[in-house]
Structure 1
């Protein structure tokens, strides 16, 4: 709990001291951490692999955007974003979660490809041009306009997400999830409702991604299918693995490490003389290299590795 409190305090201080030109990167970093928190819960505790988490990020964003552009109050659009994403995950998960392992991973990837096709072809979503004219988020009489305001909103959403995750893991349901990740057969034999738990955590992780998507929608004021590429889902998986699956603060550490790295690679790839495809190629190469290095040297991620280095209190001999 101390580590969680320390992370939240640091994130609250950063927007106040960070130069304004870097606030956009910070906001995207925090939103990514929210998505990865749900993915870490899904993969680290429930043992399910998803390569389509950006789908629910997109569903939350488009839910908020479509509602707001059709006259609904933005705050209601933001509240609807996680609910619609969770409902979509529940309906999709009913048939999808019958699959296991790589079959489930490929199925979630296919889900995102289908969603991107629907968004790019559907006039109701703005098509390939995208959804424009999304109003700023407003709560009561206060309207979020400045980047620093969205930064604090994103940090507040992340804090809620991490607290919910912590309380879930410490609960009886959390113990059931850990048993499920170890062995579904053994968990089922111990009385854990495996199917119901798998579906519930799938919907919860989608709700977290939907919440981040809603904030993303109002922050940018524009949505397009290109905002949610397949590479983004891979990026979320890499963040979860690098930070440490099944940890509370791992998503924040992983999101920070990968977001900063991507920013550096983008700056390198966009220098004069570099080909147009350089940023994408660099990203794919570094993601692959990072996964290999983490699997070889930090198989449980950064946070568990740091935790192992901490001195343990000695137990006095009797």
Structure 2
């Protein structure tokens, strides 16, 4: 407990200090890491606490990005677009969740994957989404007299969004609905017999995780100034699950640690794959191979993820030091 009280303020201080010392290249990774962590917290809540499997979080990420981009390009304030992004993603989750959440296990996973594929196909064909070319020249984010004019501003905006997501998730987990979600993950039949409205809670947690992804998507569109179907490939949804599993499903900090570990690993592999003499197919091969190897290693040696393993290690060392 004492370690947690020290670690959280220390992590917050380091997070706030880093944008001031990183160069633009490192700040770009910093922003992408924060956006991935926002989505992964929702994945951890959905899968770790509620026991629901989703391979379509990238679709909600895309809905948020397209919503914010379309509103900003049509003359509405970017702040309004950013606020509308999580709302639109949650609304979309409610619509598709009504039929999809009747499924369970791998059937639900494949259905959410199909949902993302359908959404990407539609976005590539519709005129108002820009088709395969996408939406370009999205104005930078601004709110009242503030305008995000550089990567540093987006770094702080991203981590403010992540702090909000983590705070909301923590309050949900500690509440009565949070206890109901844990019961639901253990056994839907037992939860229903205890008076828990299983269908309503499953739909609500899907919508909340989608809202987190939508918020990240809204920030992403203003940061890049461009969104297209290629910005949200199927691999990105798998990547979020890998992040949640590596960090530790059912833990808030596990989602952040997993996002950081995988993002930094992917960036390192990208640099390795682009070294002179590497074949053109190296980036794709390295990405898939590493995801497979990381998942195998975690399942074999750290089945609960990095954060739970670290917690167990520290709890074993403390009694030894007091003797």
TM class by smaller structure: over 0.9
Counterpart Cα distance in 1 of 2:86 and 2:125: 24
So what's the TM-score if we normalise by structure 2? 0.95
Q: Which residue of 1 aligns with 2:307?
A: 303
Conserved? CA contact 1:8–1:155, under 8 Å: no
Instruction: Report what 2:66 is aligned to.
Output: 62
1:273 Cα offset (Å) = 2.2
Maintained 8 Å contact 1:38/1:204: yes
Alpha-carbon distance in structure 2 between the residues aligned to 1:276 and 1:232: 21
Q: Which position in structure 2 is the counterpart of 1:189?
A: 193
CA positional deviation for 1:11 = 1.6
How far 1:5 sits from its partner (Å)?
Answer: 4.0
Unmatched runs of 5 consecutive residues or more in structure 1: none
Equivalent residue number for residue 44 of structure 1: 48
Counterpart of 1:274 in 2: which secondary structure? Answer: coil
Measured in 1, the distance between the counterparts of 2:241 and 2:104 equals: 17
Q: Partner of 1:24 in structure 2?
A: 28
| Distance in 1, Cα, partners of 2:8 & 2:203 | 27
Residue of structure 2 equivalent to 1:272: 276
Matches within 5 A, 1:75-90: 75-90=79-94
Give the TM-score, by structure 1 length.
0.96
1:241-264 alpha-carbon deviations (Å, 9 max, x no partner): 000000011111001100000001
Matches within 5 A, 1:1-318: 2=5, 3-311=7-315
Q: How many residues align?
A: 314
| RMSD, matched Cα | 1.2
Gaps of 5+ in 2: none
**CA deviation string 1:48-104 (max 9, x = no partner):** 111110100000000000111011111000000000000000010000000000000
Q: Distance in 2 between matches of 1:248 and 1:98?
A: 27
The separation in 2 between residues aligned to 1:200 and 1:9, in whole angstroms, is 33
